[in-house]
Amino acid sequence: MSDKFVRAQSTTSSTLQLPANGAQEGRRKRTGLFRSLFQTLVPSQTEGRKSPWPLIATIVIWVGLAYAGYAFAVHTLDKQQQYVNERFEQVQEENQKQMIALGEQLTQVQDEMKTVQDGLSNLEEDLQLTGETIGGTNKTKEALQDRIDQLNKQLVDLKASLKKLEDAARAW
């Protein structure tokens, strides 16, 4: 045979044989994610010159997304601040109304206490003036004592109410 022809081996096996050195030369070598991104953004000198527009478009999109996120956050925070301010003003108005109502109740209770005290002092004066004339009538003394006890009880209740109103006014 001549040197121009190469002998071919024929096998009965249905699989292909690997090269003799055992290396997989036809397979592409994988690189890491960041390395492949870097190679995409900055091509090596051996590759042909690529257009810069994909890189510019990517940067513009990222800047646009960042700005849109910032604008949305600012808008949301402004709306929340406005709601908080409105609610705060409403609470202040309600508190002011309640303070006015408590003040009115306090003056009413004080007026009632003054009328009760005036009634007690008038009753005591009447008792002193009539004490000598009444003398021995037990029914009149009991009736007067009952009235005094009722007025004293009413005075104690009014003092307790006044104390509660003053405590409530201090709490506000």
Would you list the domain boundaries of the chain?
50-171
Over residues 108-141, the pLDDT tens digits come to: 888 888 888 888 888 888 877 776 565 556 777 7
- For residue 102, give every residue at least 6 positions away whose Cβ sits within 8 Å of its Cβ, in sequence order, or none: 165, 168, 169, 172
DSSP designation for 12: S
CA distance 110 to 118: 12
| Beta carbons of 134 and 165 less than 8 angstroms apart | no
- 0.85 surpassed by pTM: no
